[in-house]
Amino acid sequence: MRLRDLALPLAAVLTVCSCAGALSDTRSLLSLGSLRIGVKADQPSLGLRGADGSFTGFDVDVALDVAERLGVDREDVDFVPLTSAQREEYLREGRVDLVVATYSITPARKTEVTFAGPYYVAHQDTLVRAEETSIRDVRDLEGRRLCQGEGSNSADRIIEERGIGARLVEAPSYSACVSMLAEGEADAVSTDDLILAGFLLQDRSAFKLVNAPFTDERYGIGVAEQDVSGCEAVNRAITDMYQDGTAERLLRTWFGDTGLDIVTSVPQFEGCS
């Protein structure tokens, strides 16, 4: 056999080997014995890091419950603090295996991240100072200073989608926005009601919720792009969490005193493909 007759079979073998190597590089979270989970560190009742370095909140408890249902012990879960702007980056670079951080599922984000869930459907609302009487609805934000945390799309829902001429004030995070609201540097903070409720619980005398929700915010659990098997396993864990009453217990623990209309039925999943 001449050398050139070996070229095609050899090329086929090399192609198979290359593909096998590529497949082995795609690591599913199901193969992991420990998990690094990205959470917020500055959102009361959702993801808050204490002085001792520990994390507490609804998202933290959801993350721990899902990890256990995936077969990972709580002591093998490491929480990684991140901001809204860092969620895609941390998943893409492998700094975290999951993100449970008030992570609304959007078409743009789905091009970079595979989403399990949603594990809860929140609603965008508005937080104002307690003495504020002129802001009763999202339309009343016309001309007012509206604060948005970096990496969020909440202000876009008001200014671009609804054409309301609010004056955008940007901050590194929503905790920074709430501080600006308290100091009179912003007139309103508008984002998911669970986020706002957590800040409200910190100081009911300083703030109040407008209580006029106007969007659905489907909180997903971010997994690495194309990790479909891992995503499907997380979806099963979320379903079990609702069916055995764990989700309702966690929601009432963290938000039962806020006056929010808490939904305790399993949300309709987006699908992992």
Statement to judge: residues 51 and 110 lie in one domain: yes
- The count of domains in the chain is 2
Name the residue with higher pLDDT: 235 or 259: 235
What digits encode the pLDDT tens for the residues 211-234?
999 999 999 999 999 899 999 999
Residue 144 pLDDT: 98
Write down the pTM of the prediction. Answer: 0.82
- Evaluate whether residue 128 is within a structural domain: yes
Among 172, 189, 209, residue at a domain's last position: 209
Which pLDDT band, with edges at 50, 70 and 90, does 271 fall under?
confident
- Evaluate whether residue 2 is within a structural domain: no
* Dist. CA 250–CA 241, nearest whole Å: 10
The residue-averaged pLDDT of 236-241 equals: 98
Statement to judge: residues 159 and 204 lie in one domain: yes
Residue 26 pLDDT: 54
Domain span at residue 205 reads 124-209
- Evaluate whether residue 11 is within a structural domain: no
Statement to judge: residues 79 and 135 lie in one domain: no
Residue 120 pLDDT: 97
Statement to judge: residues 37 and 115 lie in one domain: yes
Alpha helices in the chain (DSSP H): 7-25, 58-69, 87-92, 154-159, 174-182, 193-202, 228-243, 246-255
Statement to judge: residues 135 and 244 lie in one domain: no
Residue 255 pLDDT: 92
Statement to judge: residues 179 and 204 lie in one domain: yes
pLDDT(25) > 90: no
Statement to judge: residues 192 and 72 lie in one domain: no
- Evaluate whether residue 9 is within a structural domain: no
- CATH code (residue 224): 3.40.190.10
What digits encode the pLDDT tens for the residues 107-164?
999 999 999 999 999 999 999 999 999 999 999 999 999 999 988 889 989 999 999 9
Closest CA to 176 of 185, 167, 165: 185
